[in-house]
Homo-oligomer: A and B are copies of this chain.
Amino acid sequence: MKLLEERILKTGRNLGNGILKVDGFINHQVDPTLMDACGKEFAARFKSVGATKVLTAEISGIAPALLTALELRLPIVYARKTKPVTMPDQVFLTLAPSHTKGRTIELIVSPEFLAEGDKVLIIDDFLATGQTILGLVRLAQAAGAQVVGIGALIEKTFDGGRELLSSVGVPVEALAVITDMTDGKIVFAASGA
């Protein structure tokens, strides 16, 4: 998606070690107009998968997932990383190693909001190692729901997430595909338009 790639080149920063700083428009400050365009693009790419619910992980997946869900007129559920007092005692919980945080995080969903019969479209900000998204897949499967698609704003192909997710057997879409971040570069895949 040209608009997102241009914004990454203009405002994003390659911090080295494969870390892309996008907190000027995705992660801390958010550009709602850009996120709305991304949500509409996801909605178009996944319009025929028959999703009944959009699933993401707090925190930075919320903006793109919410605007995708708004366009598709679906509810969105965000997996919590800590269990709030309002959640029932019995939950779906999985552990996912976080590359950027350097530790394992918990992903928690209440059985009130994910159930058998749900067709789940997973939307997140990054597809890097794929571990967070795979954690969301496990949560959906634990609930008896079916994953029907996976979308990420930004994919870093060199972290191998797409290969990890291939076993899920659903369409995986990324709006900006970065193939190389060595030596301060940010290189997009040719087909990313």
Residues of A at the B interface (CB closer than 8 Å) are: 15, 19, 21-24, 27-33, 35-36, 58-59, 62-63, 66-67, 69-70, 73-78, 80, 84-87, 100, 109-110, 112-113
Number of copies of this chain that the complex holds: 2
When C-beta atoms are compared, the residue in chain B nearest to A35 turns out to be B66
CA distance A28 to B87 in the complex (A): 9
> Once the chains bind, are B113 and A80 in contact (CB under 8 Å)?
no
Contacts of A78 in B (CB 8 A): 28, 30, 59
When C-beta atoms are compared, the residue in chain B nearest to A72 turns out to be B32
> Once the chains bind, are A30 and B84 in contact (CB under 8 Å)?
no
> Once the chains bind, are B70 and A33 in contact (CB under 8 Å)?
yes
22 A-B residue pairings within 8 Å (CB atoms): A15-B85, A19-B85, A21-B86, A23-B84, A23-B87, A23-B113, A27-B84, A28-B80, A28-B86, A29-B75, A30-B69, A30-B75, A30-B76, A32-B67, A33-B70, A35-B66, A36-B70, A58-B58, A58-B59, A59-B59, A59-B80, A63-B66
> Once the chains bind, are A86 and B31 in contact (CB under 8 Å)?
no
Known contacts A23-B84, A59-B58, A84-B100; A28/B70 CB under 8 A: no
Besides A33-B70, A66-B66, 19 more A-B contacts (Cβ < 8 Å) are A15-B86, A23-B87, A23-B113, A27-B84, A28-B77, A28-B80, A28-B87, A28-B109, A28-B110, A29-B112, A32-B67, A32-B70, A32-B74, A32-B76, A33-B73, A35-B66, A36-B70, A58-B58, A59-B78
